[in-house]
């Protein structure tokens, strides 16, 4: 029987060198290092970055190395299980046709497998549900015991779901693993020649769940046997594209569009007083949704015109509306979308010019299309195409509330089928992990719970993935500023922890979880208690600062400014080098500056800034653990309109200053104070003020601070 599984798979799929090297490293380490559910191998990717493609490659190469069986555990939904089976059947179809590989769904087994079939390479798929895992155990222990001693690769896909779960048991409060994790352990004991690989993009519960919570700052992750990072391919679009600051001439600067949160609240329950058919296009409670729909249709028309100009086949496009989890809310939102589409269609059929509806969206799209170096259709052509979409009924709207709904919408590759040129999917959590939505260029997102979990929200981010950059130029995420700020924070949280994993692997690596107590002292905080609605994540290469604020009036600031002039003496200003002050003075400076600024609720926390500075100073190697490096610069003239860069890069300004702040040899926290002239012509209130920026020491552990 032929082998060379991976070389043949690679040739057919066109895997690039980076992916091949990643696959090879994973299999090398699975062969070299003992793995278990307690010390697994880890393949760590990003949301929709090609993890399934990668682990299928790992299976093929493992088969070349003498493994006989691959067992894949998927998220506990029929949809993802079906999608995984479909992907395996697609990628291994040549091998299956030649009876080299047999792919089995544990819930759809033949009545009896023959010896001929059992001698093939076997790939078994089971969703992570206790009954399914029980069938896997029975398959090997009772039905086909001859397979127990074969080399097996166990792959735990979406490994942070169900595989690690700690629950209190009994009256003594002992902690034990959940049933699914126990069943995985039973399978490993049953098959002694097995290797264990976890695959995920959201590994926080896996890495950051200690066995105990010691009375110290740094919580050591549960170390896997190894971690292999899945390389990002050139076409990957992720959180950095959406939430890092970009210049106005970069199309990504327009990806996020603000929506009034009162509108998103009005869409949560039926209310005919606020939204009716006759005001569907004009109500302030539908303004953002109308713009989202109009932008989506215009964006698709632009891309279809571009493709036609290149003699390429036209594509179909998708939009998601994810505002709530409840079916009743979806029904109401579906009704509102129907009203909007009907009203637009009526005006399109009536011959209106529609400028009042499409003008703002068209000009917004034009700016990003031109910035991307692409062509726009003539305005008349675009208007004609827009009207044609509604006249010919090219928009389809589909509610997706359950596994059953999704299953009915999947194509032969278990991806959501796009039935018409324009497809609007309306749903909740079911549109998350593993669901691939082709050509997604519109996303209306309103989920805003009191506590927002990073892994859950990241999995909602279906707009991430392999995206054509010309599609990205016309893509828009419509959400409220509060949700946008949370998404920014979660992206920073993900990047901070990922960098910890990238530079980690050492036994002394860790992530610092700290928390402010009522007396403004700092104490350790268990990772399980971190609420993402109140979290600040800062890595050694990050800056932390207030943004988007306004100053108080000159008279209200006068007393604080006089005290700051005393605490920041002239001989430490504009020297081009750091001065050393103690932690107490640094904290006093921050407290005074706080009293001079009106900072919006945009994710910044003065408590976090003081807490992080205090922690870094306590952990520092100089000044008896109390030293802070101070850099004070005067004469700055930044316009308030440019004060929103949460990364702090453009606020710092010149490259020499950035290099000074990011000096890798600095072992103390740095407090950078930029004195802005604050004149009214710059958008401020006429008084100079100090703008604080915190820079961690270069050697600092990544910090997650819970306010």
Distance, in Å, from the CA atom of 123 to the CA atom of 111, rounded to the nearest integer, reads: 17
The whole-number average pLDDT for the span 581-609 is 91
The pLDDT value given to residue 54: 96
Q: Tokens 């003992």 correspond to what residue? A: 34
> 678's torsion region: left (phi>0), alpha (psi -120 to 50) or beta?
left
Q: What does the angle CA 601 – CA 658 – CA 685 come to, to the nearest 5 degrees?
A: 45
For every residue of 487-537, DSSP letters joined together read: HHHHHHHHHHHHHHHHH--STT--EEEEEE-TTS-EEE--GGG--GGGEEE
Residue 274 falls inside a structural domain: yes
d(CA 233, CA 214): 40
Cα dihedral: 600, 287, 458, 252 (round 10) = -80
- For residue 159, the model assigns a pLDDT of 77
Among 198, 229, 260, identify where a domain stops.
229
The pLDDT, as a whole number, for residue 524 is: 43
Residues 561, 447 share a domain: no
Q: What is the predicted pLDDT for the residue at 508?
A: 42
In this structure, the dihedral spanned by the alpha carbons of residues 409, 415, 417 and 423, taken in order and rounded to 10 degrees, is: 100
| Residue from 463, 519, 670 nearest 583 by CA | 670
pLDDT value at residue 195: 94
26 and 49 belong to one structural domain: yes
Task: Indicate whether 608 and 540 sit together in one domain.
Answer: yes
Q: Are 603 and 486 in contact (CB under 8 A)?
A: yes
Q: pLDDT-derived band of residue 48, with 50, 70 and 90 as boundaries? A: confident
Structure tokens belonging to residue 122: 């076997």
Q: To 5 degrees, how large is the angle CA 301–CA 394–CA 353?
A: 60
- State the pLDDT at residue 522: 43
70-81 pLDDT, tens digit per residue, is 999 987 667 777
Mean pLDDT calculated for residue range 399-424? 77
Number of structural domains in the chain: 3
Which residues are CB-neighbours of 118 under 8 A, at least 6 positions away? 144, 146, 147
What's the pLDDT at 407? 67
Confidence of residue 572 (pLDDT cuts 50, 70, 90): very high
Instruction: Write the pLDDT tens digit of every residue in 608-666.
Output: 898 889 888 876 655 455 899 999 999 999 999 989 888 898 899 888 999 999 888 89
Domain boundary among 213, 229, 245: 229
Shared domain for 430 and 555, answered yes or no, is: no
Alpha carbon distance 577, 553 (integer Å): 31
| Parallel/antiparallel/unpaired status of strands 395-400 and 440-445 | unpaired
Residue 197 confidence (pLDDT) above 90? yes
pLDDT tens readout for residues 448-466:
665 555 556 655 667 788 8
More reliable by pLDDT, 264 or 699? 264
Confidence of residue 535 (pLDDT cuts 50, 70, 90): low
Residue with tokens 């909007």: 340
Q: What is the spatial distance between Cα 209 and Cα 197, in angstroms, rounded to a whole number?
A: 18
pLDDT of residue 485: 79
- What is the rounded distance in angstroms from the CA atom of residue 692 to the CA atom of residue 661? 13
Q: Are residues 522 and 431 in the same domain?
A: no
pLDDT > 90? residue 134: yes
Range of the domain at 333: 236-453+461-472
Residues 465 and 340 in one domain: yes
532 has a pLDDT exceeding 70? no
Residue 376 lies in a domain: yes
- Tokens 């959406």, residue? 242
d(CA 382, CA 402): 36
pLDDT for residue 356 = 92
Question: Is the domain of 340 the same as that of 443?
Answer: yes
Decide if 194 contacts 207 (C-beta within 8 A). Answer: no
User: Within this chain, do residues 293 and 176 fall inside the same structural domain, yes or no?
Assistant: no
Statement to judge: residues 261 and 208 lie in one domain: no
Q: Considering 205, 229, 253, which residue would you say is the last residue of a domain?
A: 229
The partner residues of 166 in beta bridges, in order of sequence, read 177
Instruction: Please count the residues of the chain.
Output: 707
Contact 310, 470 (CB under 8 A): no
Q: Output the CA angle 352-358-363, nearest 5 degrees.
A: 140
Q: Quick one: what percent of the chain has pLDDT higher than 90? A: 52
CA 542 to chain centre: 18
The pLDDT of residue 169 is 44
Answer yes or no: are the C-beta atoms of 217 and 615 closer than 8 Å.
yes
Same domain, 225 and 241: no
Task: Please tell me the predicted confidence (pLDDT) of residue 622.
Answer: 53
In sequence order, the 6+-apart residues with CB closer than 8 A to the CB of 436 are 48, 83, 414, 415, 416, 465
* Residue 552 DSSP class: P
User: In the prediction, which pLDDT does 304 show?
Assistant: 97
* pLDDT beyond 70 at 349: yes
The pLDDT score that the predictor gives to residue 263 is 92
- The answer as to whether 487 is a domain residue is no
Give the count of beta carbons closer than 10 Å to the beta carbon of residue 491.
Answer: 22
Q: Is residue 225 situated within a structural domain?
A: yes
Range among 233-242, 431-440, 552-561 rated most confident: 552-561
169: Cα within 13 Å, side-chain hemisphere:
9
Secondary structure of 429-470 in the HEC alphabet? CCCCCCCCCCCEEEEEECCCCCCCCHHHHHHHCCCCEECCHH
Residue 46 DSSP symbol: -
Q: CATH number, domain at 154?
A: 3.40.50.300
- The pLDDT assigned to 373 comes to 96
Please check whether residue 668 lies inside any domain of the structure. yes
- At 4 the pLDDT is 92
Can you tell me the mean pLDDT for 382-397?
95
Contacts of 522 (CB under 8 A, 6+ apart): 514, 515, 516, 611, 614, 615, 618
**Residue 212 has what pLDDT?**
44
Instruction: Give the pLDDT band of residue 204 (cuts 50, 70, 90).
Output: low
Q: Are 668 and 618 in contact (CB under 8 A)?
A: no
- 105 three-class SS: strand
- Residues 213, 280 within the same domain: no
Asked if residue 602 lies in contact with residue 547, where contact means CB atoms within 8 angstroms, the answer is: yes
Q: Is residue 492 part of a domain?
A: no
Question: Is the domain of 75 the same as that of 197?
Answer: yes
Helix H or strand E encompassing 322: strand 317-322
Does residue 482 belong to any structural domain of this protein? no
Which residues have CB under 8 Å from 279's CB, separation 6+? Answer: 286
Judge whether residue 12 has pLDDT over 70.
yes
Assess if residue 560 is contained within a domain.
Answer: yes
Pairing type for strands 41-44 and 465-466 reads unpaired
């Amino acid at each position: 029987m032929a082998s060379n599984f991976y070389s043949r798979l690679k040739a057919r799929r066109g895997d690039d060198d980076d992916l091949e090297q990643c696959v090879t490293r994973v299999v090398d380490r699975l062969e070299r290092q003992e793995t278990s559910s307690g010390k697994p191998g880890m393949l760590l990717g990003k949301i929709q970055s090609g993890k399934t493609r990668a682990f299928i490659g790992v299976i093929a190469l493992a088969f070349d190395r003498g493994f006989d069986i691959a067992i894949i555990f998927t998220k506990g939904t029929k949809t993802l299980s079906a999608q995984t089976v479909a992907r395996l059947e697609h990628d291994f179809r040549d091998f299956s046709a030649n009876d080299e590989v047999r792919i089995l769904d544990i819930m759809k087994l033949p009545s009896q497998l023959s010896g001929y079939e059992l001698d093939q390479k076997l790939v078994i798929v089971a969703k992570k549900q206790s009954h399914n895992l029980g069938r896997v155990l029975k398959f090997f222990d009772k039905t086909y015991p001859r397979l127990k001693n074969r080399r097996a690769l166990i792959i735990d896909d979406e490994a942070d779901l169900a595989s690690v779960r700690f629950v209190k048991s009994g009256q003594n409060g002992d902690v034990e693993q959940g049933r699914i994790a126990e069943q995985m352990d039973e399978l490993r004991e049953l098959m002694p020649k097995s290797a264990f690989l976890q695959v995920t993009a959201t590994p926080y519960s896996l890495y950051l769940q200690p066995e105990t919570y010691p009375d110290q700052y740094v919580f050591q992750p549960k170390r896997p046997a190894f971690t292999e990072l899945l390389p990002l391919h050139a076409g990957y679009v992720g959180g950095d594209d959406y939430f890092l600051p970009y210049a106005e001439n970069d199309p990504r600067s327009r990806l996020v569009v603000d929506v009034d949160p009162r509108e998103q609240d009005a869409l949560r329950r039926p209310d005919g007083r606020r939204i009716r058919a006759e005001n569907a296009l004009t109500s302030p409670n539908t303004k953002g949704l109308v713009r989202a729909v109009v932008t989506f249709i215009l964006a698709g028309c632009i891309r279809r015109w571009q493709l036609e100009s290149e003699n390429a086949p036209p594509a179909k496009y998708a939009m998601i509306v994810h505002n709530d989890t409840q079916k009743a809310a979806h029904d109401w939102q579906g009704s509102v979308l129907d009203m909007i589409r009907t009203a637009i269609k009526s005006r399109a059929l009536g011959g209106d010019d529609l400028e009042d509806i499409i003008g703002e969206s068209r000009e917004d799209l034009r700016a990003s299309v031109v910035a991307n170096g692409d062509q726009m259709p003539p305005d008349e052509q675009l208007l004609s195409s827009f009207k044609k979409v509604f006249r010919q009924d090219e928009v389809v709207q589909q509610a997706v509330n359950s596994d059953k709904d999704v299953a009915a919408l999947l194509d032969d590759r278990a991806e959501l089928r796009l039935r018409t040129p324009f497809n609007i999917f309306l749903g909740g959590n079911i549109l998350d992990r593993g669901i691939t939505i082709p050509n997604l260029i519109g996303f209306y997102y309103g989920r805003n719970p009191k506590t927002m979990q990073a892994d859950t929200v990241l999995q909602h981010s279906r707009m991430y993935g392999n995206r054509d950059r010309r599609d990205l130029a016309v893509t828009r995420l419509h959400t409220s500023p509060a949700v946008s700020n949370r998404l920014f924070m979660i992206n920073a949280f993900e990047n901070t922890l990922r960098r910890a994993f990238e530079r980690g692997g050492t036994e002394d690596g860790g992530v610092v979880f700290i928390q402010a107590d009522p007396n403004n002292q700092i104490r350790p905080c268990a990772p399980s208690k971190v609420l993402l609605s109140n979290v600040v994540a800062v890595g050694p290469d990050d800056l932390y600062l207030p943004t988007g604020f306004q100053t108080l009036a000159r008279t209200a600031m006068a007393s604080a400014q006089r005290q700051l002039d005393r605490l920041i003496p002239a001989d430490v200003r504009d020297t081009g080098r750091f001065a050393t002050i103690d932690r107490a003075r640094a904290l006093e400076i921050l407290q005074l500056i706080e009293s001079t600024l009106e900072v919006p609720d945009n994710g910044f926390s003065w408590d976090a800034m003081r807490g992080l500075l205090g922690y870094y100073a306590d952990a520092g190697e100089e000044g008896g653990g109390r030293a802070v490096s101070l850099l004070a610069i005067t004469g700055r003239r930044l316009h308030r309109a440019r004060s929103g860069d949460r990364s702090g890069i453009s606020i710092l300004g010149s490259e020499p200053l950035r290099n000074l702040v990011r000096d890798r040899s600095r072992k103390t926290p740095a407090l950078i104070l930029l004195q802005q002239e604050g004149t009214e012509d710059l958008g401020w209130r006429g008084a100079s003020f100090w703008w604080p920026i915190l820079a961690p020491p270069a050697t600092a552990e990544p910090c997650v601070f819970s306010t």
